[in-house]
Amino acid sequence: MEFVVSIAIGVLAGAGVWLVLRPRTFQVLIGLSLLSYAINFFIFSVGSLAIGREPIVRPGLAPDLVNYSDPLPQSLVLTAIVIGFATTALFLVVLLALRGLSGGDHVDGQEEKP
């Protein structure tokens, strides 16, 4: 299972980097979103997710990774999702304003020649 998660994180990060390096601002926005998904997935996978386990250690049990699922990475990912959504919305508004002012959506300000 760790191999599949690693491949998924790598694909998300690779696609995100590739889109960030594209010349159009909407592609940069999607690339940043994919990078944030990859980072969130990585943080979530580090938290030793255990299905059907308690999120908090009960008194009297040894706090090893088998007995509980760590809630800290889950809360960090939840916070990162909210912040990422707000940042994406702000970037989208700036993108629309830039397109209205300049008439194009290229990062460097130059249009491609057809």
Highest mean pLDDT among 1-5, 16-20, 54-58: 16-20
* SS3 at position 19: helix
Name the 3-class secondary structure at 52. Answer: coil
pLDDT of residue 66: 54
Look at the block and give the residue holding tokens 């700036």: 94
pLDDT at residue 47 in the model: 74
Higher per-residue pLDDT: 92 or 60: 92
Answer whether 81's CB lies under 8 Å from 40's CB. Answer: yes
Q: What confidence score (pLDDT) does residue 72 get?
A: 82
Domain residue limits, the chain:
2-102
Lowest mean pLDDT among 23-27, 46-50, 92-96: 46-50
Question: How many alpha carbons lie under 13 Å from residue 40 in its C-beta half-sphere?
Answer: 18
What are the φ/ψ torsions at residue 29 (nearest 5 degrees)? -60, -45
The answer on pLDDT for 14 being more than 60 is yes
